[in-house]
Each structure stands twice: as structure tokens, then as C-alpha cells.
A and B are shown apart, each in its own frame.
Chain A
């Protein structure tokens, strides 16, 4: 199985901050990397697919980059509604696997 490792596991930031979350795969997954946002008690919501493609309706302050084994999710200017847990997922090979999540908290 491909292991997905996110860092940091938690992060405190303020409204307006620029934030970057990293996801590393245990082997190359090409561009088969997706990002999800999950709020407490809710289902995950697709933010970005195929490394950098923004899902419809997702604000432009979210962006993704990377290839191979190293990927990043960046939020350019944090808004109050962005405080949530973010999770990466590889769709390169079965079984699909997820990172453990990064909890973004208000400082």
C-alpha cells in the first residue's frame, strides 16, 4: 500500500495568514493526488483533484502543487470558514489511501 504522510498534523494560524500543508507519498503517484476538507461532524468535501485542479465552487485562495511524491496545499489568505481538517488522498493505485489529516486551528 502507498503510505501518505501529511505535515504538520496540526497548525495554528490567524485569519489572513498564508498556510501551506504538505503531503508526501511513499512512492511516486504521478499526479494522482486529491485534497479534501472536513469540518467536525461533516463528510469530507473535495477541494482539489489531480494535484492542482480546483473543484467547482472552491475559492481561488486554495491551490495545490507538486508531482511524484511531494505535494502541497496552500491557502493564500485564511478565512474563518477555512478552519477545518485537510486530508490528501492518492488515486494512483488500489488500495486508495489517505493522509492522516492536518487540523487547521485558529490562533
Chain B
């Protein structure tokens, strides 16, 4: 059973860079796109972007100028860097596997437990 575990600092100062890593265990790393999704306190879910094992990426245009996703296949890990953060970037950041089935669609499953990142000085 695939499991995802996110990790990283819980506190980031304004204007600095948020960095999170997600470790995938119990299943194949290749053949899927690996995603980041965030949820601001009391608000809805926002898709940040995804990356596959080759490093191919797709980002939410609203965040594209500040987001970089990377992958380390030797460790079955993928990472998120979000630069120039503000208080508006305070959120729980989830990593998730994007499953895509040709002719059917794509969805997120499973999700990691989530990492709360607070932007504050």
C-alpha cells in the first residue's frame, strides 16, 4: 500500500523560501505524477503542481513564478520550493499521488498526512 510522508520546517519567515519533501513508500514511484496541494486555514484546497519521475512538471499558473518541484528517484522523494512567501502562503501542504487512467480521468490518491507551514516573522 502506497504511503506518502511529507516533511519540512513548520515556520518560514516572510520573503523566504518554503521547502517541503515528500517520501513515497510501499509502491512504484515511476508511472505516476506526484502532486502538492495546499489548504489555507478555514479555506478550500488549492492544487499547487505536479511532477513525474522524469522531472516533467505542471504548475498552477497562479503560483508558477514562485514554485519549483523536483524529484529524487534514488530516494523515492519529490520536493516543493515556494519562494518569496507571505502570510497568504500559510497552509497545510499535502503531497498526493495523481492517478491517471486513459479514457477515465485522473484523481489524487492517496494523500500524505499534511504539513502545516506558517509564514511569520
Contacts and interface: CB of A to CB of B under 8 A. Distances in A.
A33 B114 CA distance: 23
B60 to A, nearest CB: 4
Interface residues of A, number: 24
A55 B114 CA distance: 21
A98 B107 contact: no
A102 to B, nearest CB: 11
Per DSSP, chain B at the interface is strand
B116 to A, nearest CB: 10
Contacts of B112: 43
Interface string A45-68: 110011001010000000000000
Count chain A CB atoms within 10 A of each CB in B60, B109, B112 and give the residue with the most: B109
B29 interface: no
Interface of A: 31-32, 34, 36, 42-46, 49-50, 53, 55, 87, 89, 91, 94-101
